Chain A
Amino acid sequence: MAILELIQSNLLTPIVLFFIFGIVAARIKSDLKIPDAISEFLPIYLLAAIGLHGGIEMRNTGFETMLIPMLVAIGLSLLFTLNHYQILRRLGKFNLFDSYALASTYGAVGAVTFSVGLSFLKNQGVTSEGYITAILAVLEPVAFILAIFLTNMAVSKQIKAKKESLGEIQTESEIEMGISETKTNLKQVLHESITGKAIVILLGSIIIGYMIGEEGFSSISIVFDELFTGAIVIFLIEMGIIAGQRLDDIKKVGVFLIAFSILMPTFNGIIGVLVATALGLSLGGAVMFGLLLASASFIAAPAVLRHAIPQAKPSLYITSALGITFPYNIIVLLPIMFMVSSIVHNEGSIDLFNYISKGLI
């Protein structure tokens, strides 16, 4: 079956092999470690490279084409976050805080996953629309803001209900205080995520990429183009080590969350690919669009959520996003989405089910 072959060949790429190597190194309790400064530097480098590429591409294609895909991505991200919450809260029986934290972790995007996706496409000899990088930047805070807003609403409702049931006299000022607290909290989160290093470097590089264009880029392409995949490889050793250290925690997150961290990205990703194809994105663009919706955030999420929803257990959302979803996304889901995208791009979406059923049999 073609899809298994694709997964198999994806397994043998340096990115995936080094990731698995990192996991093995952690499991045998090796003291192998990427120095702190480098593992902090690499995400910045990766985002700068992604941003530059996106900016240069956007100079070629213009801004107009990006508006609709961006709005659709935001809409889907919000919808998926709400959907995650309902599933986690009702079926998974997680508490309110964990449900919202997990829902937004999975609604948010993963920049590292995005880098791996770009390099996967490069490997397949496929390009993607540059403006997807801009969508990455815009999408980053969206799911968090929604989840935090809803959490604050739910908490103030609970407090109010509690006070009423206790028969306390609710003074106007107390309600106002609650509302204003929520507002400042949201404002802070908004400010933090927009001025956070990930978004700043990404937007900055997009703008610079747009300004310098191809000819300006040629002087720095040796660092930002040729070294890109190599840098991901080094970073993925570190990611592998961290994921490996967390492997024991996976047992603690429970069967439901393990299933959720595999099925949800698959569902979101494939919907993303299909929607992107319907919007007229290219084969590679649809894969990247799907990846945006499939990926979970594990670097930005803890930083935002630990402050905004401190009651949620970070071990749940970091472990599931980094320990389960990230490996699954880069090893299995990327080839699957690539396959789906190739099918819908070659044969038209009507034949999709036919093709899949034929392929399965």
Chain B
Amino acid sequence: MKLYDVKLLTVTCEILAQKNVIEILTKHNITGYTTYEVEGNGAKGLRGQGLKNEKNVKVEVILQENTLQDVVEEIARTLFTNFAVILYVSDVGVLRTEKFV
């Protein structure tokens, strides 16, 4: 079975920044992603307790390398200064490469 190399972009951010991340993805014609609510600790202190607006969310997107650069650049430019965001990229293999922009 042949696996194709693509990138997995993982963005962990405060839940109120989720909309901004999704908007950036949509802007780059990426329609597929997975989100889940998470808790954790970091520079902005313990997150995920109390009010729903104070929770964190993890957004996972699989995309091709050339799209990745633009998306990452835009997230970094628009969100890093004002929001709690952690972002990393990993190499993953998929079966159906045509599903990912």
Enumerate chain A interface residues (CB-CB to B < 8 A).
Answer: 36, 39-40, 238, 241-242, 245, 298-299, 302-303, 306-307, 310-311, 318
Contact = CB atoms under 8 A, between A and B. Distances in A.
5 contacts: A36-B52, A306-B16, A306-B83, A307-B20, A318-B51
Nearest to B19: A307
B69 interface: no
Contacts of B19: 307
A307 B50 contact: no
Contact of B16 (A241, A298, A302, A311): A302
B97 interface: no
Nearest to A40: B52
Contacts of A36: 52
A49 B51 CA distance: 21
Interface in B1-31: 14, 16-17, 19-20
B53 A242 contact: no
Given A241-B50, A303-B16, 19 more contacts: A36-B52, A40-B52, A238-B50, A242-B50, A242-B51, A245-B49, A298-B51, A299-B51, A299-B53, A302-B16, A302-B51, A302-B54, A303-B53, A306-B14, A306-B17, A306-B53, A307-B16, A307-B19, A310-B83
Contacts of B83: 306, 310
Interface of B: 14, 16-17, 19-20, 49-54, 81-83
Given A303-B16, A306-B16, A311 B50 contact: no
Nearest to B37: A36
Contacts of A241: 50
Contacts of B50: 238, 241-242, 245
A162 to B, nearest CB: 17
A298 B54 CA distance: 11
Nearest to B81: A311
A242 B49 CA distance: 8
A307 B20 CA distance: 8
A148 to B, nearest CB: 15
A167 B53 CA distance: 42
Rank and list the top 8 A-B pairs by shortest CB-CB distance, nearest first: A310-B82, A306-B16, A242-B50, A302-B53, A303-B53, A311-B82, A40-B52, A242-B51
Contacts of A298: 51
A306 B84 CA distance: 11
A322 to B, nearest CB: 8
Contacts of A242: 49-51
Contacts of B17: 306
Contacts of B49: 242, 245
